Amino acid sequence: MLKPRSTPTRELVNLDGLWRFSVGGDQPWTGPLDSALEAAVPASYNDLFTDSAIRDHVGWAWYQREVRVPRGWSSERVMLRVDAATHEGKVYVDGVLVAEHVGGYTPFEADITAHVGAGQEFRLTIGVNNELTNTTIPPGTITVTQDGRRQQTYLHDFYNYAGLARSVWLYSRPATHVQDVTIVTGLDAGTGTVEYSVQTSAPAPVRVVVLDATGASVAAADGTSGTLRIPDVTPWRPGAAYLYALLVEVLDGDQVVDSYTEPFGVRSVEVRGTEFLINGEPFYFTGFGKHEDTPVRGKGHDDAYLVHDFQLLDWIGANSFRTSHYPYAEEVMEFADRHGIVVIDETAAVGLNLAVEGGLTGVPPRPTFSPETFGEATREAHADAIRELIARDKNHPSVVMWCIANEPSSHEDGAREYFEPLVELTRKLDPTRPVCYATVIFARHENDRIADLFDVLCLNRYYGWYVATGDLATAEAYLEHDLRGWAGKYHKPIMMSEYGADTMPGLHSVWDTPWTEEYQRAYLDMNHRVFDRIDAFVGEHVWNFADFQTSHGIHRVDGNKKGVFTRDRRPKAAAHALRARWKRLGGRK
């Protein structure tokens, strides 16, 4: 799905700001919302209000505002685009339902031309539902308390923020228009190859031009698909981004009826043996699993935090991050493209794992993969999540790998049957990027059933935290044994996609005491000693970039404290040690 952009043939109106807001209500789209509340867009609604009934609400919440269609749009299609409605959205124009969408982290849009008039105002109501069930991605369970309140539980730790956490747009589009653009690049000595394919809404001649960063034309072609060559290409490299743009024009005779520009970078990605290659050169990932999480806004996108987070990534020597545990805002992906940060792009499939209910035994009280638990309907929702992620992010040079699940119960019966078709689907949709999943600690090389289907072994391991807590010597032995097992069994690159220790800033000790700043540092040092001894190792992503909000739990103190930065982005002691290591490594082993 194309990002809405302002072009010579398209206009864009941003609908962010304060919207009327309510939870519950009977058919609230039929008239003005009966509520004194206003909510900020973009933001999760949960932390905006002091009323815990709103924060903990399970079900539909409503946003409403008036919107005026620009008067010059009388011969245009009028489109409404919601960047994200978590987890399900319904859009009403005056009383009419114009769009419905399930999946909280991917965009959807509707052609509302038939319901609005140029220069006229309409009432826009958007319902968002935060319910998670066996057939949603991510999954969850709704229970009812003794006093009749509905409660949402889930198998991931981050808080189930909901609402309109990203922008809402009104835009105009010509009747005959560019519907989709796919760009696949390669490097052939000093020449860049650009395979493109354009989908239009109706058959029409198409012209494409490649523009370099100065706006100069460097290649051009006619037709809806083909391969362009850029001589003396400047590749997109980690830490040294360079972007070209593909200008796509739909023609009617000499007239340009639609014009759309898609930025792209020329780079290649390949897994060869135990190496991860970008532009043919071995790449070593340094960075983090992140979250979209800030005080008050929850998962609301915020450009100020975006800029600051990337400044901190640069400061600490991180060259990459994983979009744990859901697709991030498109602004984040484009920023990564422009600033040369490498991204592992993850679906929201986190928590397909009932073994976590068995505590550290890893023995599931009931099977994870079954018709009663996670079955075909779950897999269909998961397939949709993969389709929508790839449709949205396929042209980002920063994205070098798809991660289709976090910590599924890959050691259980049924895991292979569940995952095999999803890996096939991912490869069919994008044959150019490697595919991974992040492995839970219960899945060891001896009992995991799916690792051979994937390109890179991404391991989440917490030796020294959840296992061998406070005993780094034992943890070091366990970790090395575990990693050598995988390295010995598979001839694939291995990276640590999560390792971390909860740390209260300001807590200190001369001993190996969990929760202290010294312990976080010693824990990371121990991990790094082991990583450096494993040849097939291609990267390290610390869990987490920053502290983040979670649901309640006796092992959570106002959230997850494994951040290397606090929730307000101040460095803990470990940040300085990581910085020294990552600056020294410089993206190479």
CA distance 288 to 323: 9
Nearer to ligand GCB, 445 or 461 (CB): 461
CB of 568 to ligand GCB, least distance (A): 19
Nearer to ligand GCB, 156 or 567 (CB): 156
Alpha-carbon dihedral of residues 42, 45, 46, 52, nearest 10 degrees?
160
CB of 131 to ligand GCB, least distance (A): 20
Nearer to ligand GCB, 88 or 407 (CB): 407
Residue 130 carries which side chain, given as an amino acid letter? Answer: N
CA distance 346 to 436: 9
Instruction: List the beta strands (DSSP E) in 24-111.
Output: 38-41, 43-44, 60-68, 77-82, 88-93, 96-102, 108-111
User: Starting from the edge strand earliest in sequence, which strands make up the sheet with 12-14, in order?
Assistant: 12-14, 168-173, 77-82, 108-111
**65 phi, psi to nearest 5 deg:** -160, 165
DSSP state of 357: G
Nearer to ligand GCB, 267 or 290 (CB): 290
Nearer to ligand GCB, 122 or 437 (CB): 437
Cβ burial 284-311 (10 Å sphere, 16+ → b, else e):
bbbbbbbbbbbeebbbbbbeebbeebbe
Name the token pair of 145.
């308390």
CB of 61 to ligand GCB, least distance (A): 25
Nearer to ligand GCB, 64 or 323 (CB): 323
Rg (CA), the chain: 24
Nearer to ligand GCB, 93 or 403 (CB): 403
Is position 498 annotated as part of the catalytic site?
yes
Nearer to ligand GCB, 157 or 393 (CB): 157
CA distance 562 to 548: 8
Name the token pair of 73.
């749009």
CB of 461 to ligand GCB, least distance (A): 9
- Active-site entry in 407, 476, 517, 540: 407
**Which of 91, 82, 85, 88 is CA-nearest to residue 136?**
88
Burial label, 354 (beta-carbon count in 10 A; 0-12, 13-18, 19+)? buried
CB of 500 to ligand GCB, least distance (A): 6
CB of 440 to ligand GCB, least distance (A): 7
CB of 551 to ligand GCB, least distance (A): 11
DSSP per-residue string spanning 266-304 = ---EEEETTEEEETTEE--EEEEE----BTTTBT---HH
CB of 388 to ligand GCB, least distance (A): 21
Task: Answer yes or no: are the C-beta atoms of 501 and 523 closer than 8 Å.
Answer: yes
CA distance 262 to 227: 16
- Active-site entry in 88, 109, 498, 517: 498
Nearer to ligand GCB, 233 or 356 (CB): 356
Cβ neighbours of residue 49 under 8 Å, at least 6 residues apart? 37, 55
Q: Which residues bind ligand GCB (CB under 6 A)?
A: 156-157, 325, 406-407, 460, 498, 543, 560, 562
**Which of 303, 297, 302 is CA-nearest to residue 48?**
297
Segment 219-223 long-range contacts (CB within 8 Å, at least 24 positions apart)? 219/194
Cβ neighbours of residue 419 under 8 Å, at least 6 residues apart? 404, 405, 408, 410, 437, 450, 453
CB of 540 to ligand GCB, least distance (A): 15
CA distance 128 to 92: 12
Q: Which residues are catalytic?
A: 407, 498
